[in-house]
A and B are shown apart, each in its own frame.
Chain A
């Protein structure tokens, strides 16, 4: 009987190899979501339990402009993905640059907010439970944004060097999944910190 070549019954073929990147990225997103969930739970558990210090109601103002920037960056990255899928590398580069800019504005805005909270309001990571949980949760998110910006910048450099081509489009999509995840986390953090647990 011929080796292992058996007639394949008309059942489905397994998932194609090309899906590896996406499946892998979903796994990473699952793990990261679990980490964020624990910080969110801690935040909610401790809301209202601080023994001293300013309260969220007193010092937190909804970062509307920052959030719009970050959410818009999801839009710009989608436009970039479409551009590279159609082979339009220059257009891709422009949208990609916009994404980096919007993400950077978000981080700078966060830094400004923290400066004000620390120096003007006296809220630090050690001043109270609110301080500890706030800076940890928002900081963890900001860290993920910075990691994303680093990746975006590396790809930007490759684009400027002319290395990025249409065939890299699936990899760009996988990376963009990470960026969308960072955005989605901000939806949750924004809601919990600035709306629910005031």
Chain B
């Protein structure tokens, strides 16, 4: 580790001096910053804030659904809750958290001082933030359907013609549209930045074939965002034209088509879920090797598989539309393409398995989250294959089986990897180690809660319970399962509380972490914890995929084998 440390010069301003500045100056520095690390942390903080808000929305829904014919909230409120919960989690939690990590670590991992366009970076963050504020302002500012309150209540995929002026008068739908349009501008800006940074800013010696998988996967994700957010933007502009300029894009009374909204939305919506999970794969692809003490198994294949997933995911969207009455040929095509995209995804699971195989696995908290991810993502992928078989989807689509499936992928998959990443890189960002015991409590409570809720959630779907209903009939066999599902929420909340307490406590009282507490191999561990503003005193030069391995094992460097 001392070899890596000699790269450094003393920081210009010491942390003690930094902390002594007046509070106003410190806050101001954060507001005007163009530093990728600060922006990254702001993205992450923003995402965590909305994770809590979205979680509260979910909790209220689960209380309402715990028993049949409940009156905890009105139908109008419930419909707003599931709309806001879905929109929040995808756009205000998932995207910001993932952009936050990419922002912080892509430049560090490629040995750069910042992103390609620092000012664009700041602009994009603030646009994303503004989008979320606009969306949530709807709770107090918009007027909606009579008696319906204010926040949008059209579902996160806002099917036409429910979103037409005739069926959604007032402005609640407009807040959904504009909040996301603004936030989308931020997403395009950040993705543009990540692509340019990864392609143009790598340190000497770092060819594309030597980039960490984290950078590769964020590169693919960002390239996808560029192409994939645009259909949503276009469809939302069309919807605004319908609502305010008398357009007929989705006006079924004038010959318009409700189905074309579905096509446009899902051409965005399906690749979007791959956009969300690919950075999760990125985290896992860095963490599993370090705690198995082996390099990632099949680096080139992992890159190829990711590119395939990115490409194939553009051709599966109508599996969200199996029930709309497409021809048998169309249904068959999308069944085939959806099953096909499972192949490269499965390959990745096998490669992670191959990484652990023959290794010396250390069960640190990040590794435990990664291992849980592997089991859970396997199950989620398999329920996805089930849904891909379109006749099976004719029964299970739009039911709680689908809700279980996508929460399995997004929580059991993505959120678990995000927790892994939060624990893994916490020492780098704060310079402190977290508390092991609190971390274990978090992990086990959250695991139990997740499984209680989402394992059992598959069952009501199989028993005929559709989604997006604020209550349900007694006597359909759904009661006991809904109760268990709701109980699981309690464990998840307590688990997350442990994490919050751990993060805050450790920031002040944690053991100093040093540069490289995990004995890892990518460039971010070659600088201090936290890194100085300029990242590296001297831009590094690399010769393999694991530059720090080469430094630590000069007798057996990677570049001999790559």
Contact = CB atoms under 8 A, between A and B. Distances in A.
In the complex, A touching B (Cβ < 8 A)? yes
Interface of A: 1, 3-9, 11-17, 19-20, 23-24, 27-28, 30-35, 37-39, 42, 45-46, 49-51, 124-126, 128-129, 132-133, 136, 140
B200 interface: yes
A178 to B, nearest CB: 13
Nearest to B537: A3
B203 interface: yes
Interface string B186-207: 0010011101100111111111
B477 interface: no
A45 B550 contact: no
Given A16-B200, A20-B116, A27-B191, A129 B543 contact: no
Contacts of A140: 237
Contacts of B166: none
A31 B188 contact: yes
Contact of B550 (A6, A24, A50): A6
A129 B551 contact: no
B205 A8 contact: yes
A15 B230 contact: no
Nearest to A7: B543
Contacts, number: 150
Interface SS of chain B: helix, strand, loop or mixed?
Answer: helix
A114 to B, nearest CB: 14
Contact of B226 (A5, A19, A31, A133): A31
B192 A3 contact: no
Given A12-B207, A126-B247, A3 B116 contact: no
Contacts of A124: 246
B540 interface: yes
Contact of A128 (B248, B264, B559): B248
Interface in B238-273: 238, 241-242, 245-249, 254-257, 260, 264, 267
A30 B254 CA distance: 33
Interface string B383-417: 00000000000000000000000000000000000
Contacts of B341: none
A125 B241 contact: yes
Interface residues of B, number: 60
Given A11-B207, A126-B246, A6 B228 contact: no
B74 interface: no
B304 interface: no
Given A24-B117, A27-B223, A136-B241, 11 more contacts: A3-B7, A4-B526, A4-B538, A4-B541, A6-B205, A6-B550, A20-B117, A27-B195, A39-B238, A42-B264, A129-B248
Given A24-B117, A125-B241, A125-B246, A4 B192 contact: no
Interface string B220-231: 000100111111
Residue from A46, A50, A132, A136 with most neighbouring chain B CB atoms (10 Å): A132
Given A34-B230, A38-B231, A129-B248, A19 B200 contact: yes
Contacts of B200: 14-17, 19-20, 23
B238 A42 contact: yes
Contacts of B247: 125-126, 132, 136
18 contacts: A3-B540, A4-B538, A4-B542, A6-B547, A19-B199, A23-B200, A24-B117, A28-B188, A28-B192, A31-B192, A34-B227, A34-B230, A38-B231, A125-B245, A132-B241, A136-B238, A136-B247, A136-B249
A4 B226 contact: no
B540 A14 contact: no
B249 A1 contact: no
B94 to A, nearest CB: 19
A50 B199 CA distance: 46
A113 to B, nearest CB: 18
A6 B201 contact: no
Contacts of A24: 116-117, 120, 192-193, 195-196
Contact of B199 (A9, A15, A51): A15
B303 to A, nearest CB: 16
B328 interface: no
A30 B242 CA distance: 26
Contact of A132 (B196, B249, B550): B249
A130 to B, nearest CB: 10
Nearest to B187: A31
B554 interface: yes
Nearest to B5: A3
Nearest to A5: B541
Contacts of A1: 3, 551, 554
Interface string B108-140: 000000001100100000000000000000000
Contacts of B559: 9
A126 B200 CA distance: 46
A11 to B, nearest CB: 6
Contact of A23 (B196, B249, B543, B551): B196
Contact of B255 (A12, A34, A50): A50
Contacts of A35: 230-231, 233-234
A3 B550 CA distance: 11
Contacts of A6: 205, 541-543, 547, 550
Nearest to B230: A34
Contacts of B116: 20, 23-24
A3 B249 contact: no
Contacts of A128: 248, 254
A19 B196 CA distance: 9
A129 B264 CA distance: 17
Contacts of B201: 14, 17, 20
B103 to A, nearest CB: 16
Nearest to B205: A8
Contacts of A132: 241-242, 247-249
B230 A38 contact: yes
Contacts of A129: 248, 254-256
Contacts of B543: 6-9
Nearest to B211: A14
B196 A20 contact: yes
Contacts of A16: 200
